[in-house]
Amino acid sequence: MLVGGSAQAARASSVLPAGVLQPLSGVYAAEDEAGCCWLAPSARFTIDRPSHTDVITLDFVIPPYAAARKKTGLIISSGGASRRFCCFGAGEHSASLHLKGRSGPAVLEVSVVSTTRFVPAELGLNQDRRELSVLLKHVSTTDSSTGEIYMGATPMSSNMLLPRWRVIADAICLAIAAVLLPFLFRRPKYAWVAILIAAPFLFPVPVGGTTISLEKVVLVLAAAIMMFHAKFRAAIFGGPGIWILGALLLFAADMLLSSTAATFPGAALRETLKAAEYALVFAVVYGAYRTDPDESLLRSTVAWVICIVSILALLQPFVEPVQRTILMGEIVPRLAGPLEGPNQLAAFLGIMMVALIALSPRLSPATIFALVLGTLALVLTISRAGFVAFVLGAATVLAVKLWPRHRKSILLSAAVICAAVLIVTAIAAVTFPNAHLDRLFGVSDAYNGGLGSRAGLWHAAIVLWHGHPLLGVGPGNYELQVGSILPGVRTHPNGYFFQVLAEQGIAGLVILAAVILVPAFVFARNLESRFAAAGIGVILTLNFHQLVDGLVLYPKVGLEYWALVALAAAAVTRKAANRTAPVTADG
């Protein structure tokens, strides 16, 4: 929140845009980095200048409601250099200032003067009467002779401004996956191992409007190689996995149908291809594990992935700027590790740890170490929904294992909890604004960095759905159209079920229910299996979290989720087939 004079608000003001060392005047911080940070028409701040850097780059945003009829011009000055920039309209922009010489003070003062201003209260956004200009997202410096980019004192990769350590980690995982892939011709189990390892990493290469990334390369190569195995081709279409795959393909087909009326077809196509990618993940992992199962290797892989992701997350504050938020009046970091954000990391670790708990017949030292490390990283994401979802999933799995005679009651209790939360979110959406429920789910200024309150975003989803009740506004189109209902907001609804309702209409919501319930029904019928318990736990953990966050929108979470569901379904299918196989004369 940008308005207020309390001690808490004062402490929040130190949450600054990445790369800003100290505000001097005209820099208005928010409670978290997602909302950071407004500049006054005249602003000054300091930045770190690593040796030999000679270019300063400001990345900033002008929301539609802040754009003036006469486009915005900026004057940026630092280190004796000054440059006028013109002309910026609504959207995301960057401006670079070349300094005089490569040597100079380690700390530079930067001045930014805008030709336009707006007052939120005059636009009816809230009662804030400050004069604001642009949203400063981050400031970086560059050595033009080498191309080295720094965010503060942290070296960054030129590839999408990823910290250099993260690109190195992704490259290592790419090498591991590359080593594993040739073995697929002999052992199909390396297909699901490679996908589990690759999912939490990115290594992106921008191409057109999308990226070629590690998990996509691994998935496509694994699918192509596995098709040479006759047993794999037969395994894909055997057992209940065909019904789960059918539900996924039906969901992707519904997205394609909803895309026909989308205002922004590019965004719709991107999300539809993502759903198709998840269907391919399920098919490859399901077929590969049915063809070549290895429970011990699976447990080891899951534990190792938890450890690697958690270690990278715990090291994050020492190697790169991290997101921050206010907790009990204090500014605390939020870990994201190699995932896209803290909520995504919480979801990823939650489903992986629940799966590991279910699959472990006993708690070995290695399992305990992975769970302790993962829980520590999850707690430090400061994702309340992520932590509660993990506790619910883990408690359900442990209860099913400890009290097998009460499995039905345990699952029914978990389902009732999910239904109760879903009903409360629906009431919050319908009755918005509702002071009590808005406070429960968090509030935010409508113009605060393009974010809104959760209840407001859910309400906007219902409004958009009313206009297109059957097929919705099209996949990926919510965030591009929500500004017509909540001025200045551009984000997803922070609730996946509301997103599907708005973007795919009632048809999409019904199919989404099938996508969740079909595998849940398969696992519920086979709960004597550790794999079935793992499948139920993973489905419960992620979808409970998705009541208040959108998570399968992010491939790192979505790929791992569907890989775990596929592994559980494949193992349950094999066990069921073994139970019903005829006994031969040899026994």
DSSP string computed for 453-480: -HHHHHHHHHHHHHHSTTT-S-TT-HHH
Question: For tokens 């699901």, what's the residue?
Answer: 192
In a domain, 583, yes or no: no
What confidence score (pLDDT) does residue 586 get? 37
29 plus 56 within the same structural domain: yes
Q: Cα separations (Å) of 491 from 134, 414, 554, 585?
A: 18, 30, 14, 64
In a domain, 356, yes or no: yes
Residue 327 identity: L
Using alpha carbons, select from 286, 302, 277 the residue that is nearest to residue 188: 286
Using alpha carbons, select from 373, 375, 377, 380 the residue that is nearest to residue 325: 380
CATH of the domain at 102: 2.60.120
Surface-to-core class of residue 111, CB atoms within 10 Å of its CB (0-12 exposed, 13-18 middle, 19+ buried): middle
In a domain, 125, yes or no: yes
In a domain, 584, yes or no: no
332 plus 217 within the same structural domain: yes
Number of domains within the chain: 2
96 plus 201 within the same structural domain: no
Using alpha carbons, select from 188, 202, 179, 297 the residue that is nearest to residue 235: 188
Low-confidence residues of the chain: pLDDT under 70 = 1-14, 31-35, 125-126, 156-171, 173-178, 180-181, 184-185, 202-212, 320-321, 324-331, 438-440, 442-452, 487-489, 574-587
129 plus 215 within the same structural domain: no
**Domain boundary residue, one of 136, 156, 176:** 156
- Tokens in use for 168? 């190195």
127 plus 220 within the same structural domain: no
111 plus 171 within the same structural domain: no
**Domain boundary residue, one of 156, 173, 195:** 156
**Predicted TM-score of the model (pTM):** 0.76
What confidence score (pLDDT) does residue 256 get? 95
Question: For helices 555-580 and 189-198, what crossing angle results, to 10°?
Answer: 150
Please tell me whether residue 553 adopts helix, strand or coil conformation.
coil
**Domain boundary residue, one of 129, 156, 183:** 156
In a domain, 340, yes or no: yes
149 plus 208 within the same structural domain: no
Q: How far apart are the C-alpha atoms of 326 and 32, rounded to whole Å?
A: 7
In a domain, 115, yes or no: yes
In a domain, 467, yes or no: yes
Whether residue 153 contacts residue 48, with contact meaning beta carbons closer than 8 Å, is answered with: yes
Please tell me whether residue 204 adopts helix, strand or coil conformation.
coil
In a domain, 585, yes or no: no
456 plus 520 within the same structural domain: yes
152 plus 170 within the same structural domain: no
152 plus 203 within the same structural domain: no
Q: How far apart are the C-alpha atoms of 141 and 19, rounded to whole Å?
A: 9
Whether residue 140 contacts residue 150, with contact meaning beta carbons closer than 8 Å, is answered with: yes
Containing domain of residue 255, as a range? Answer: 164-578
115 plus 195 within the same structural domain: no
463 plus 372 within the same structural domain: yes
Surface-to-core class of residue 420, CB atoms within 10 Å of its CB (0-12 exposed, 13-18 middle, 19+ buried): exposed
Q: Cα separations (Å) of 403 from 8, 407, 531, 585?
A: 46, 7, 16, 37
